Amino acid sequence: MTSVSREAIEKLLPELLQGQSIKQIEDDPPIYVRANRYQARIGYQHYKGWTFSIADAHRLLDILEHGRYKSIRDIAQAIGKSRQWVYIYLEALASIEVVDLRQNIYVVLSRQNVPKIGRKVQKGILGQLRSLNRSGCYGLLGNKLYGRC
């Protein structure tokens, strides 16, 4: 039961159906449900049930582009996620050459490969990038060193 009159609902139903806000799932009696009530998450599993969201990856990249973050803890605080979540996403993004570590600051190289997140994840890549930064190299691109070494 709702507090809206039956007449008001009958006037509104065709408009909602036309706008695809609702859909009819039964004819007798007519039953309507909200359209798109199950939001699909498109992503790929990495390990231990992790599913990567392309939208979440873009949110993380937005934060990296608008700040100069040196630690996963600072990024986690800025995005409101756990350090583990940030680490897993950074590892996945670094594996597809989207994120790099330059002068100990996480930077976005390109968003072109974001849809590939989770397809291949090179475990330990963030540690490799940190080691390269300590030795004066800027990063790893396609498993080749670049920058000043």
- Structural domain boundaries of the chain? 1-39, 54-146
Mean pLDDT by runs of 10 across the 149 residues of the chain is 78 85 82 71 61 91 94 95 95 93 92 88 90 72 49
Distance CA 45, CA 53 (A): 10
Distance CA 129, CA 101 (A): 6
The pLDDT value given to residue 23? 84
The pLDDT value given to residue 106? 94
The pLDDT value given to residue 143? 47
Topology (CATH level 3) of domain 54-146: Arc Repressor Mutant, subunit A (1.10.10)
The pLDDT value given to residue 70? 93
